[in-house]
Amino acid sequence: MPLSRPIALVAFSIVVVPTHASAHEDQCNVVAASVADAGFTDDVTVTCTDSHAILTSDTYPDHDLMTGIIGTNEQVPVPAEYAAPIILTPTLGTTPLTRDAALGVAVNGVPIYDYTGGGEMSEADLAHHQAQHDTLQTNQLDVCGGHAGRGDDYHYHAKPVCMIEQMENAADAAIIGWAFDGFPIYGDANPDGTAIAEGTLDVCNGQPDEVFGYRYHTSPGSPYIVQCLMGEVPDFDALPRVRPLSAATGGGTQPGRPPQGGVEGLVFTQNDDGSRSMDYTYEGEPYFIRYAPAKNEGCYSFTTQTVTNKGELMVGEFCR
């Protein structure tokens, strides 16, 4: 299908592995342009094969992080190498696909999850709002629509409002991300600026598109963002996951557990030397998670005092 929607011409760098299918190259250019037009070429590298556009980033956006979170899971965002594969010849399927990990990636390289924090959804889950697992309604998300997950990785569960504010081409026609089935993600309105009528979006929060065949949207109400994938994904089980932190001496880390009732005054501080600190109070007592880059690449020195660990002061080095 020809790609007729206007795309601004800007300078960007991509790597294309030789292919005889010009349609693949055309779609590769569209994916690369969506990153370049938004102004994120310093954060995201686009490399194309004959089947996928690979968006590589460290998943760590250059905008406010963690502000506004009450229902913290006591995890912090730590940079993580991430290669997001976007199919270049998408095909609509007949069965919605869900997983307990990212369903796509924003144009700034941050993974996009569904709205829940409860794991993979069943067909019944897709049809009914899961209030108890709604990361927005349970105050687990920051003001930018994201938070740090069990792997101490930052990702979005709702409209990435802070990223959109940063986009150089911010408008209804701008692609804000790509689902792993190869279809684009737009904001709350149609690309032509018209409102999306109630009931138009399907169970995955998408609708037909005259250019791409299909497109996803964010929405003010649940499910807020891509809820499932309507396209075919041949290697669905092999889609990327962020590697969790592990202790430098061996063994993994235990995921944080949300303190009952939430915390107060959570502040995430970022310093020029790469050190980070998340400070908050729970039932009147102070708690924190602090880390700084260690000598070994990809490793960080942590000092923590969390509700999960019953206030015990813990020090250690953890690596990706």
- Give residue 261's pLDDT: 95
- Those residues whose C-beta lies under 8 Å from the C-beta of residue 52, and which sit 6 or more positions away, are 85, 86, 87, 88
Ordered mean pLDDT values, 10 residues apiece, the chain (320 residues): 41 41 85 98 97 97 97 96 97 96 98 92 91 96 96 96 98 98 98 97 98 98 97 96 88 75 97 96 98 95 96 94
| 156, 108 Cβ separation under 8 angstroms | no
What does each C-alpha distance from 39 to 28, 43, 170 come to in angstroms?
17, 9, 10
Full-model pTM: 0.92
The answer to whether the Cα torsion of 107, 173, 91, 232 is positive or negative is: positive
Bridge partners (DSSP) of residue 53 are: 48, 86
Q: Could you count the other beta carbons within 10 Å of the beta carbon of residue 202? A: 16
- Those residues whose C-beta lies under 8 Å from the C-beta of residue 283, and which sit 6 or more positions away, are none
- Give residue 251's pLDDT: 62
- Those residues whose C-beta lies under 8 Å from the C-beta of residue 309, and which sit 6 or more positions away, are none
- Give residue 252's pLDDT: 58
